[in-house]
């Protein structure tokens, strides 16, 4: 499964990167996040991070949870995650921040072979988990990060 979600912000690459990489502040700016906490923080946007979010279905909210190694390349800039706990164990994620003529394109790419379920793992990832959960949460997260970055730039 490869899922790509992206939005463009009028804010600078630096501001978008700062908001996108400062995951500890996400619950304050992203109402669908239940919590984000570092189990082992080594530096800004680096360490072992536990995240939990809600995936709404009408008036119902389904809880999601995962743990990742997180690191960043501030030169490019890119934020990387490698999920090692939760249903998305083995998922690789990268947040890319690229300057465009109109601002900053923020792209989230999720790559995953699916859960280790015999015969249906890849199908479940491609048909349900990727589009219904991963992409839906990523789109909400992108919208919130863009809104916060643009709020900071006035």
For residue range 62-117, list pLDDT tens digits in order: 999 999 999 999 889 999 999 999 989 999 999 999 999 999 999 999 999 888 88
Rounded to the nearest 5 percent, the helix, strand and coil shares of the chain are 30, 45, 20
On the question of pLDDT at 132 being above 80, the answer is: no
User: In percent, how much of the chain has pLDDT > 70?
Assistant: 100
Cβ 93 vs Cβ 110: under 8 Å: yes
Beta pairing class for 46-57 and 60-73: antiparallel
**Which residues are bridge partners to 35 per DSSP?**
52
Alpha helices in 22-119 (DSSP H): 26-29
> What pLDDT score was predicted for residue 11?
97
- Considering the four listed CATH numbers 3.30.530.20, 3.30.70.270, 3.40.640.10, 1.25.40.80, the one that applies to the domain covering 2-153 is 3.30.530.20
The pTM for the full model equals 0.93
CA distance 141 to 31: 9
> What pLDDT score was predicted for residue 124?
85
pLDDT in tens, 50-71: 999 998 888 889 999 999 999 9
CB atoms within 10 A of CB 101: 5
CA distance 140 to 16: 15
> What pLDDT score was predicted for residue 58?
83
Cβ 87 vs Cβ 129: under 8 Å: yes
> What pLDDT score was predicted for residue 123?
81
Assigned token pair, 126: 């491609």
Assigned token pair, 151: 């709020």
On the question of pLDDT at 143 being above 90, the answer is: yes
Backbone phi and psi for residue 25, each to the nearest 5 degrees, phi listed first: -90, -5
CA distance 80 to 70: 6
Taking the CA of residue 110 as centre, how many other CA atoms within 13 Å lie in the half-sphere pointing to its CB?
25
Tokens 């109402």 label which residue?
A: 31
- The domain segmentation of the chain, as residue ranges, is 2-153
On the question of pLDDT at 19 being above 90, the answer is: yes
């Amino acid at each position: 499964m490869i899922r790509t979600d992206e939005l463009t912000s009028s804010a600078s690459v630096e501001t978008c990167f700062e908001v996108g990489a400062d995951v500890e502040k996400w619950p304050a700016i992203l109402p669908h996040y239940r919590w984000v906490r570092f189990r082992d923080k080594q530096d800004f946007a680096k360490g072992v991070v536990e995240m939990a979010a809600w995936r709404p279905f009408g008036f119902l909210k389904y809880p999601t949870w995962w743990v990742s190694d997180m690191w960043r390349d501030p030169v490019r800039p890119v934020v990387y995650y490698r999920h090692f706990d939760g249903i998305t164990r083995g998922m690789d994620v990268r947040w890319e921040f690229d300057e465009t003529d109109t601002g900053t394109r923020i792209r989230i790419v999720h790559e995953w072979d699916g859960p280790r379920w015999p015969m249906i793992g890849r199908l479940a990832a491609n048909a349900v988990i990727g589009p219904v959960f991963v992409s839906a949460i990523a789109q909400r997260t992108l919208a919130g990060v863009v809104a916060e970055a643009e709020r900071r730039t006035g």
